[in-house]
Amino acid sequence: MTDSFKLALVTGCSSGLGKALAEQGLDRGYHVVATARRPESITLEHTRLHKRALDLNDPEHIRTLCTQLHEEFGQIDLLINNAGFGLMGPMLEISPQKLAEQFQTNSIAPLELVQSARQSLKRGSTVVNIGSVSASLVTPFAGSYCASKAALHALSDAMRMELAPFGIRVMVVRAGAIRSKFAERAESELTPQQTQGPYQPLQQAIAERASLSQQNASDADDVAKRIFDASEQSRCPAYVGVANGHRRLYSLSKLPSRVTDWLLSRRFKLSTLHGDEL
């Protein structure tokens, strides 16, 4: 380790955007701590790459990793909370346990990481939270995911103001469609009760919502470059929009709710449902 170095900590690096972010950090001269639940799944290799196991559902694991990193490196110049997943399905069919897991991974763990890494964050450090345009535009069959990202945006807004006096910047990425394995995980999380419940006629629409993020998706490498460019600006933006669809969908979220309700109900076939009982 040289006397002068930059360290980036990136979560969820086994594939997709996380892998691309780790690569982008290496290309820009950072030492990169790349994390995943199973670090052996991280295929990148580099002398400045440091693979670490991280279970975002285990607060003690988060604290232990941050303590180890502080002892080993002493600083974190860039913390990118990228890891997350999409829990899809009708709200009536989402179990409280699955909802809690969704919020833990997508909303609470990023905050826990910042809290646990506070000793390593210095004036000039930047926290980047990978949010989503879904935080603004809530769609049928993705309420859990949309809510978790909305919570992440709100927590980030508070952190941005509270950390500013200490010279620590917080940036939210309002992401659109990024090429990744997001849809595979989302489809695997679909609840089996849907096949027998009142939304059974809409199975195709529900499955389509799970895979929607991969339609006309942007290349993860291009998105990672855009995120790093924004994070390294002298005046780091509070929000940066990236990837296909983010502008259109964010604009759609600003329409009156009666308009978006009508459009989205038609898009996801809810207007075809009729009945007096759930």
> SS in 3 state form for the chain?
CCCCCCEEEECCCCCHHHHHHHHHHHHCCCEEEEEECCHHHCCCCCCCEEEEECCCCCHHHHHHHHHHHHHHCCCEEEEEECCCCCCCCCHHHCCHHHHHHHHHHHHHHHHHHHHHCCCCEEEEEEEEEECCHHHCCCCCCCHHHHHHHHHHHHHHHHHHHHHHHHCCEEEEEEECEECCCHHHHHHHCCCHHHHCCCCHHHHHHHHHHHHHHHCCCECHHHHHHHHHHHHCCCCCCCEEEECECHHHHHHHHCCCHHHHHHHHHHHCCHHHCCCCCC
* Predicted pLDDT of residue 209: 84
pLDDT of residue 186: 58
- Quote the CA–CA distance of 270 and 28 in Å, as a whole number: 47
pTM: 0.92
User: Within 10 A of 14 (CB to CB), how many other CB atoms are there?
Assistant: 21
**Measured between alpha carbons, how far is 256 from 85 in angstroms, rounded to an integer?**
28
pLDDT tens by residue, 58-97:
999 999 999 999 999 999 999 999 999 999 999 999 999 9
pLDDT value at position 207?
85
Residues assigned a catalytic role: 145, 149
Counting as low any pLDDT under 70, the low residues of the chain are 1-3, 182-196
So what's the pLDDT on residue 195? 55
Neighbours of 267 (CB within 10 A): 15
* Structural domains of the chain in order of their starting residue, each with its CATH number: 7-268 (3.40.50.720)
